[in-house]
């Protein structure tokens, strides 16, 4: 049988075996564009609708079970029912959900993170990695009195800060300058060309959406040197990479940015924005 015919058979079997996922997806499209809130989760003819998860397994609404190899794109590293996490969640539920004031947990977590990451002196919690990066950029723009931001091709810093294929019409209207990732000379030239109005350099130490490309140590060291020289704020987006080591990739490389955005350590909602005074390498 030709490959195209086999693919058609598999597609038909998928539709036949997942009627409830199909029905729920069709209903969802009436209220959400594409039927969900994350475009990356969609695939044709319709995505699976997940009913529950336990340990490393998922169950869809049609009763099929799957090994969860995605781990919520690494935001769910501990699976779906780790007893320590479940116990902590029950404790939170028992003590109340919205306390309308400072609580004990946030300051304790802030202290733990500041002790782990070399760049962190003060920390602010927010709602997402996207929001953390927006706050970091706005802080850098306000602190420097400058407007321009250097980013890198194919980088992803959130739903309104994506730079694949030259950028997105959904991006926030900041004054972006784009350079090639891991290209020391072109990035250095971009910094020098815009240094008088450069507020920030925003970089992922591992270019995630482009295929998890690690930054070269010399490339990050150059960015640290150039940011210090021209007075721009060097921001490491470690929303994805903060759990790749006790001090994230900044600890691995031994390069200290001026600001760091973190998140996804336990869930997509655990996204603190952390910042420090400017410092050299």
Angle between helices 19-28 and 3-17 (to 10 degrees): 80
Q: Is 57 exposed, middle or buried (0-12, 13-18, 19+ CB in 10 A)?
A: middle
Determine the Cα–Cα distance for residues 60 and 66; give it in Å rounded to an integer. Answer: 8
**What pLDDT is attached to residue 1?**
56
Q: For the CA atoms of 70, 207, 125, 201, what is the dihedral angle to 10 degrees? A: -170
Q: pLDDT tens digits for 20-51?
A: 999 999 999 999 999 998 888 899 999 999 99
CATH fold of the domain at 105-275: 3.40.640
CATH topology identical between 3-67 and 105-275: no
CATH of domain 3-67: 3.90.1150.10
SS3 content of the chain, % helix, strand, coil (to 5): 40, 20, 40
Mean pLDDT of 257-272: 67
**What pLDDT is attached to residue 74?**
77
**Domain boundaries defined on the chain:** 3-67, 105-275
Structure tokens at 11: 């597609």
**What pLDDT is attached to residue 274?**
37
Instruction: State pTM to two decimals.
Output: 0.86
pLDDT confidence tier of residue 244, bands split at 50, 70 and 90 = confident
Mean pLDDT of 260-273: 58
Please tell me whether residue 44 adopts helix, strand or coil conformation. coil
Mean pLDDT of 2-14: 89
CA distance readout (Å), 10 to 20, 28, 45, 135: 18, 24, 11, 46
Whether 183 is catalytic is no
Q: pLDDT tens digits for 197-213?
A: 999 999 999 999 999 99
Tally the residues of the chain. Answer: 281
Query: Which entry of 60, 154, 237, 258 is annotated as an active-site residue?
Result: 237
pLDDT confidence tier of residue 275, bands split at 50, 70 and 90 = very low
Q: Is the pLDDT of residue 52 over 90?
A: yes
Determine the Cα–Cα distance for residues 250 and 67; give it in Å rounded to an integer. Answer: 32
Angle between helices 184-194 and 217-230 (to 10 degrees): 10
Query: Which entry of 60, 240, 253, 264 is annotated as an active-site residue?
Result: 264
Whether 264 is catalytic is yes
Q: Is the pLDDT of residue 57 over 80?
A: yes
Q: pLDDT tens digits for 129-177?
A: 999 999 999 999 999 999 999 999 999 999 999 999 889 999 999 999 9
Query: Which entry of 60, 154, 156, 258 is annotated as an active-site residue?
Result: 156
Count of alpha carbons within 13 angstroms of residue 246, beta-carbon side? 4
In eight-state DSSP terms, residue 280 is -
In eight-state DSSP terms, residue 162 is B
């Amino acid at each position: 049988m030709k490959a195209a015919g086999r693919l058609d058979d598999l597609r038909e079997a998928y539709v036949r075996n997942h009627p409830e996922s199909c029905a729920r997806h069709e209903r969802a499209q009436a209220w959400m564009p594409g039927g969900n809130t994350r475009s990356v989760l969609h695939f044709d003819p319709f995505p699976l609708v997940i009913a529950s998860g336990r340990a490393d397994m998922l169950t869809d609404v049609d009763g099929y079970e799957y090994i969860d190899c995605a781990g919520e794109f690494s935001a769910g590293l501990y699976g779906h029912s780790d007893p320590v996490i479940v116990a902590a969640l029950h404790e939170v539920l028992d003590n109340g959900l919205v306390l309308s004031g400072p609580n004990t947990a946030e300051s304790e977590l802030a202290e733990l993170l500041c002790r782990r990451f070399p760049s962190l002196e003060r920390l602010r919690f927010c709602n997402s990695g996207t929001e953390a990066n927006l706050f970091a950029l706005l802080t850098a723009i306000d602190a420097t009195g400058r407007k321009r931001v250097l980013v890198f091709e194919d980088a992803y810093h959130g739903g309104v800060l994506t730079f694949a294929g030259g950028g997105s019409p959904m991006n926030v209207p900041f004054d972006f300058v784009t350079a090639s990732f891991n290209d020391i000379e072109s990035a250095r030239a971009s910094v020098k060309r815009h240094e008088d109005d450069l507020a920030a350099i925003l970089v992922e130490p591992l270019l995630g959406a482009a295929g998890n490309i690690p930054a070269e140590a010399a490339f990050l060291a150059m960015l640290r040197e150039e940011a210090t020289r021209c007075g721009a704020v060097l921001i490491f987006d470690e929303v994805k990479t903060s759990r790749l080591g006790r001090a994230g990739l900044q600890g691995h490389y031994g390069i200290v940015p001026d600001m760091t955005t973190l998140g996804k350590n336990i869930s997509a909602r655990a996204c603190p924005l952390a910042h420090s005074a400017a410092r050299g390498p």
